[in-house]
Structure 1
């Protein structure tokens, strides 16, 4: 099955590029359109209705550009809006959820930490996932301020180090052996987090699993792209510099006030 239309991705900002990188690495021949809704970041502090409305707006923007499949590259949007998106639009959606299951299955201490946004941790989908792992103690921490610092390009700032120290220290003291990153922005903090965590604590994010699922759905339902020279485009409704920096200035970044 062949389908040369692009894969669409959206996030509340630049964080979902961590998911895009995994998909592009696994499927380098696919065209992609990435939507960074940085003007409205962070989604984690918004109401469920606001998150659904923004997710619908982003979906329609991508569908207007012929997206054949949409990756909701945002934990908060997935956990709050993907059910409504699937009911409303006739296109496959791939969501991103915190990787609680592999962490809980492999934990030796039966204690895992999760760093995520308020919107993800308070969602019905997340709480259902937690309920299925009642033998594991899950230490939840809202990452207040982290997304905004990343969106501002302040990943290596003293303020970021201070926040991470504050958020991670109680988890270390509680004897976790896995830290789940429950926001697509957070993989960009792994070098900072590694400096704080003891070496035995493993860090898990969802990027690789989302890429594999995207490939499976393309093969089974949508169709892969055939041909050379895939088109890779990034749209943002905020200052393009931070997005360009994250992408090492290698790709086309277009400003659009959507």
Structure 2
């Protein structure tokens, strides 16, 4: 594979809209870089899909990003990272940055040594998450809860309704009762709930979001490979989705306060839900 051009875009992938929270951090840290965001919203959310489907579909979408000339990939989805990042690194000759719940910084920040973790069901049951949790054995007590329904609500643009608040209260109250003083936002959708969370829990829990850490790791990898964009470059941001472009445009406006065009792209055929991951290798 030829060395990509320094002005080539960085591909950012999520099953839906949560990765926009990571894109926001990348744009803030790396304003000269061009970005290509793809939301596989036709098949979102991934959090409750079979693991083999997630791996196979993630590989499909990331191959599309590579075909678009991306110089690096950010897997801005905890579930896709858990189930597919190793396969991606074995398959695609690009720097690939994944995301994972910020358990380590949470353990370091917690005074009570009781940490709440809110993530998708698939992230919590993944082997990668289990290894991360085991590596921190003894540092803190981690109370892990699947945020059932939250991704769907955020995909609809609902980040503060009475129903969302009721769900959050049900997830968080047991953590607070157990003495948790820190909350890990273990899904890239969840930072869009920050304002609501702050209103609900005030200063009782510190929020840990890894989007900024992902942006810093991306910057390091670009520098290591000599493919960072030069200052003064004229960057673009392209938004694509496998569902309705108008919905992505509306959500970019609502969540990022950016007026942007989006496009619908087709990446087919998707693997069947019971597909073995190796069918796409």
TM-score by length of 1: 0.96
1:154 equivalent to 2:158? Answer: yes
Distance in 2 (CA, whole Å) between partners of 1:84 and 1:96 is: 15
Contact 1:232-1:252 within 8 A present in 2 as well: no
- How much does 1:222 deviate? 4.3
Distance in 1 (CA, whole Å) between partners of 2:100 and 2:241 is: 23
Equivalent position of 2:207 in the other structure: 203
Number of aligned positions between the proteins: 258
Equivalent position of 2:262 in the other structure: 253
2:78 to 75, 79, 83: 75
Distance in 1 (CA, whole Å) between partners of 2:144 and 2:164 is: 19
1:240 equivalent to 2:249? Answer: no
Equivalent position of 2:198 in the other structure: 194
Which runs of 5 or more residues in structure 1 are unaligned? none
SS at match of 1:45: coil
Contact 2:106-2:182 within 8 A present in 1 as well: yes
- How much does 1:198 deviate? 4.0
Distance in 2 (CA, whole Å) between partners of 1:206 and 1:198 is: 20
Which runs of 5 or more residues in structure 2 are unaligned? 268-281
RMSD (CA atoms)? 1.4
Map 1:139-150 onto structure 2 (within 5 A): 139-150=143-154
Distance in 2 (CA, whole Å) between partners of 1:244 and 1:229 is: 22
Are the structure 2 counterparts of residues 200 and 154 from structure 1 closer, same or farther at C-alpha, using a change threshold of 3 Å?
closer
1:183 equivalent to 2:187? Answer: yes
Map 1:123-142 onto structure 2 (within 5 A): 123-135=126-138, 136-142=140-146
TM-score by length of 2: 0.88
Distance in 2 (CA, whole Å) between partners of 1:19 and 1:206 is: 8
1:113 equivalent to 2:122? Answer: no
- How much does 1:252 deviate? 2.7
- How much does 1:179 deviate? 0.1
Distance in 2 (CA, whole Å) between partners of 1:125 and 1:222 is: 30
Distance in 2 (CA, whole Å) between partners of 1:159 and 1:257 is: 33
Contact 1:172-1:197 within 8 A present in 2 as well: no
What does the per-residue CA deviation read over 1:116-149, in whole Å, with 9 as the maximum and x for residues that have no partner? Answer: 0011101111111111222211000001111011
